[in-house]
Chain A
Amino acid sequence: MSHTPDPSHLPDHDSVYDGLLGGDDSQWAFGTDFEDPLAGVDTTVPDGVDTHELATYCLMLADDALVMSHRLSQWCSNAPDLEEDIALANIALDLLGQARLLLARAAAADPSVVPALPAGSPVPPEDALAFFRGDREFRNVRLVETDNGDFAVTIARLLLFSTWRLALLQRLAASRDHVLSAVAIKGVKEMTYHRDYAGRWFLTLARGTEESRRRLIAGLEATWPLRAELFTTHPVELAVAGSGVGVDPSTVADEVDVLLEQVFSMSGVDRPDIAPLAGVRGETGRDGLHTEAFSRLLAEMQVVARAHPMGSW
């Protein structure tokens, strides 16, 4: 016997949730409607810039932010205390916002980078890029994709990531691409307090108890092999630096080193001397070659969207 109610007996309503709150749908306000983050923004590509190179570069910057954001959001309800839970979620939200703008910019620059979906699918380009690309199509550095580890590992990684990205975005502010320039100028404000947060916790853990110091050093050593990749120039990065829209990451290496040295010396921590993690036949994250942990991350991040390619969120 079926328990499904006959639809003709249900009261007329606009939402199936009306019975819960008497038709006040304000609690569904966020995330129920698609908002193009670049609505009304001029997305014309500057003269002399290859649209596919620009889009690929935007994906690199977007994927770094998206994957780092996802890892940080995994701390929700798991952080050492409520304040850190909120702090990591706030940082994750800023990075997610940067990722959305950059994914939308990639799609606007070259729509061919957006995966094809079934005809009539309402999934917007930024979501198609986030949820319907396979691991080989993601261009993020491997630093952001490995497991969170404990809080000390997360802090060591966030220090490296935010110091590097802040330096990159400061230079990207001068991009000839007005969208990238605007995203960078905004991002600099946000990365500044992300870096401060990571630096303060790095110092606090290093000067805390014997156990916190032990874990911090272990976290830094676990993260360090993925550092060199941040400053290795990919041909696409070289090309967009040449056309004045992007930044060659090797140019920020010295500045990042000086800042890290400042944190290390105040913390009484030695700069690790550990070899970089090798790529596969010379290919690394920027080429779409990732670690095993990344496949598990993607599976979790994408499963719902992929199960409903015609879904509207």
Chain B
Amino acid sequence: MVAAREAAASVTDPEMPMLTLEDLGVLRDVEVDDERVVVTITPTYSGCPAMATMRDDLVHRLRDEGFDDVEVRVSLHPAWSSDWITPRGRAALVEHGLSAPGPAPSHDGPVVLSLQPTRRTLACPRCGSSEVDLTSEFGPTACKALYRCAACLEPFEHVKEI
């Protein structure tokens, strides 16, 4: 029997399946108490529609490994940050053509209003060029912005800093 922690850590994100929930930083804790497994996850965004699927996938994977009594709990604090994506997760993003987030902004003190386009120093995940243009600050999922590379002309998604 695979250990509960190992089984839970192997479940992948439904929207970015190149990442495990552990690499995404969503998996916060796995506790085993006799036969019972309690898994704690933290949502990436308040409206993340993948939470129910993550829970179901965790329950199914653990059941497949012989853990029949599984509870998935939500932890809202501390709030998820893109800084929680592991180095292995970042490498997996780039390998699959996505740009990994830079350091998340600090939310201590007053929040500065920014009326200029978001400036990021990025490299194209395909050709490595730093000549990239932001095409949309919002993308197909809450966590991504859209870019295009001026060198290889390919569009790509960037996982946003939050």
Chain A residues close to B by CB (< 8 Å): 29-41, 83, 86-87, 90-91, 93-98, 100-101, 166, 170, 178-179, 181-183, 185-190, 192-193, 195-197, 199-200, 203, 259, 262-263, 266
> Quick check: A38 and B74 within 8 Å, CB to CB?
yes
Q: Write the chain A residue with the least CB distance to B40.
A: A40
> Quick check: A30 and B45 within 8 Å, CB to CB?
no
- Judged by DSSP, the binding face of B is loop
Given A40-B71, A86-B140, the answer on whether A196 and B113 have CB atoms closer than 8 Å is yes
Q: Write the chain B residue with the least CB distance to A266.
A: B115
Q: Write the chain B residue with the least CB distance to A189.
A: B162
Given A40-B75, A97-B48, A189-B162, the answer on whether A166 and B135 have CB atoms closer than 8 Å is no
Q: Indicate which residue in A36, A101, A179 contacts B46 across the interface (CB closer than 8 Å).
A: A101
> Quick check: B45 and A94 within 8 Å, CB to CB?
yes
Chain B residues close to A by CB (< 8 Å): 14, 38, 40, 43, 45-53, 55-56, 71-80, 105, 107, 111, 113-118, 135-140, 142, 146, 162
Contacts between the two chains (Cβ within 8 Å), count: 124
Given A33-B56, A193-B137, A200-B115, the answer on whether A182 and B45 have CB atoms closer than 8 Å is no
Residues of A with C-beta under 8 A to B49? 30-31, 93
Residues of A with C-beta under 8 A to B113? 195-196, 199, 259, 262-263
Minimum distance in angstroms from A24 CB to a CB of chain B: 14
Minimum distance in angstroms from A171 CB to a CB of chain B: 12
> Quick check: A188 and B111 within 8 Å, CB to CB?
yes
- Judged by DSSP, the binding face of A is helix
Given A93-B142, A166-B111, A263-B113, the answer on whether A181 and B77 have CB atoms closer than 8 Å is yes
Q: Indicate which residue in B40, B52, B76, B140 contacts A186 across the interface (CB closer than 8 Å).
A: B76
